[in-house]
């Protein structure tokens, strides 16, 4: 591991004044892992755990979650359990209880891809080493993305919570040296294009301070399909929220994970679901639209039918609740 300086931020202003090249330390469950592997090599590690960013509050606009709140804090918070079951379901589908106790909401949104080549400094990887090439294109790409890919990078965004928050139109509050700004989560993540090393909209020194989830009523479900039933990342996941009026789907929100380079909203599926009777069956045509624009690599073609089926199952599970 490369030598680094360690500092503790007492205030948000301290944190955002960290020198360029510094990285924030929250739960450390991604950062420390990747530093040990030599993938992330910050000059300064800035501990943000003393910042007053752990509050979870509910008001008439929705739920606001401090970026330092732990995944388990949010998953068990009475307001989240009562009013945001989609968020809770996605959180509990991720990692393990021990990791959820350590891992923060801000760190969760900032977690890195699980592409094996990214995590191996001996392999070519444009995301870790811009211009270095992409070993996954002709390599072991069974778990890689079919949506949002580019010739530079085909890695998936691995998170669960971000998929639910994308469906719920959440925003992130970001503090920087020039003040604060709010950004829809949908605009936070960047598809790789020709610059896969630029993963999100954060500028130098910027810190996520909170996530806001607006109220949205309806039937919801988060479905996650993976190689084993727990402690595993998604091969495909779907977050669905359906508003039903007089037996008809009046509005639909659908986002998917495990199949795309960023949490991926599916407006074509949402439009196709809207107006359908809210009774079991009859959703295959709408779910089929999930794979529009998908492109398979040598070993991940199975993800295209899996994506459709995961969306279908999430729609049916949501309506059954």
Q: Which residues bind ligand FAD (CB under 6 A)?
A: 23-31, 33, 67, 94-95, 99, 102-104, 106-108, 110-111, 159-161, 207-208, 233
H or E, element range at 219: strand 219-225
Q: Could you give the strand order of the β-sheet that contains 44-47, starting from the edge strand earlier in sequence?
A: 5-8, 44-47, 22-25
Provide the terminal-to-terminal Cα distance of the chain, rounded to the nearest Å.
Answer: 49
N residues, the chain: 321
Choice between 5 and 248, CB closer to ligand FAD = 5
Nearer to ligand SF4, 46 or 153 (CB): 153
DSSP annotation of 169 reads T
Q: Does 259 bind ligand SF4 (CB under 6 A)?
A: no
Q: Tell me how many degrees the CA angle 173-253-313 measures, rounded to the nearest 5.
A: 125
Q: Rounded to whole angstroms, what are the CA distances from 301 to 144, 145, 150, 163?
A: 10, 10, 16, 22
Shortest distance (Å) from residue 140 CB to ligand SF4: 10
CB atoms under 10 Å from CB of 229, counted, come to 7
* C-beta nearest to ligand FAD: residue: 107
Between 27 and 273, CB nearer to ligand FAD? 27
Contact between 40 and ligand SF4 by CB under 6 A: the answer reads no
Task: Name 285's Cβ contacts closer than 8 Å, sequence gap at least 6.
Answer: 272
Q: Does residue 155 belong to the site contacting ligand SF4 (CB under 6 A)?
A: yes
**Closest C-alpha to 74, from 107, 45, 41:** 107
- Min separation Cβ 243 and ligand FAD, Å: 26
Exactly one of 86, 92, 110, 153 binds ligand SF4 (CB under 6 A); that residue is 153
Residue 135 near which of ligand FAD, ligand SF4, none (CB within 5-8 Å, type-dependent): ligand SF4
Q: Which two tokens stand for residue 57?
A: 């509050």
The number of residues that bind ligand SF4 (CB under 6 A) is: 14
Q: Please give the helix or strand (H or E) that residue 284 lies within, else none.
A: helix 284-288
Among 40, 135, 172, 294, binds ligand SF4 (CB under 6 A): 135
Interface map 186-225 toward ligand SF4 (x if CB under 6 A): ----------x-----------------------------
196 interface partner picked from ligand SF4, ligand FAD, none, CB below 5 to 8 A per type: ligand SF4
DSSP state of 218: S
Q: Which residues bind ligand SF4 (CB under 6 A)?
A: 113, 115, 117-118, 125-127, 134-136, 153-155, 196
């Amino acid at each position: 591991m490369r030598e680094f300086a360690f500092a503790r931020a007492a205030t948000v202003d301290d944190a955002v004044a960290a020198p360029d090249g510094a990285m924030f330390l929250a739960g450390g469950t991604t950062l420390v892992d990747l530093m040990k592997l030599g993938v992330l090599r910050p000059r300064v590690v800035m501990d943000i755990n003393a910042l007053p960013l752990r509050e979870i509050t509910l008001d008439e606009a929705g739920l606001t979650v401090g970026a330092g709140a732990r995944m388990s804090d949010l998953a068990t918070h009475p307001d989240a359990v009562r009013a945001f079951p989609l968020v809770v379901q996605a959180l509990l589908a991720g990692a393990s209880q021990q990791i959820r106790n350590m891992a923060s909401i801000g760190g969760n949104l900032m977690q890195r891809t699980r592409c094996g080549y990214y995590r191996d400094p001996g392999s070519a990887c444009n995301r870790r080493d811009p211009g270095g090439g992409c070993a996954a294109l002709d390599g072991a790409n069974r778990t890689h993305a079919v949506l949002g890919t580019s010739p530079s990078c085909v890695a998936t965004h691995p998170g669960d919570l971000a998929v639910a928050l994308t469906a719920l139109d959440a925003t992130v509050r970001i503090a920087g040296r020039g003040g604060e700004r709010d950004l829809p989560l949908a605009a936070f993540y960047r598809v790789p294009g020709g610059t896969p090393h630029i993963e999100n909209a954060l500028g130098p020194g910027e810190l996520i301070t909170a996530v806001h989830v607006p109220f949205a009523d309806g039937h919801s479900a988060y479905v996650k399909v993976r190689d084993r039933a727990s402690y595993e990342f998604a091969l495909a996941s779907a977050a669905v929220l359906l508003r039903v009026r007089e037996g008809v789907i009046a509005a639909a929100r659908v986002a998917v994970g495990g199949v795309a380079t960023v949490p991926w909203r599916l407006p074509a599926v949402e439009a196709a679901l809207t107006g359908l009777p809210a009774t079991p069956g009859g959703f295959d045509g709408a779910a089929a639209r999930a794979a529009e624009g998908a492109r398979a690599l040598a070993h991940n073609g199975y993800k295209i039918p899996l994506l459709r089926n995961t969306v279908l199952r999430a729609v049916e599970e949501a309506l059954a609740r």
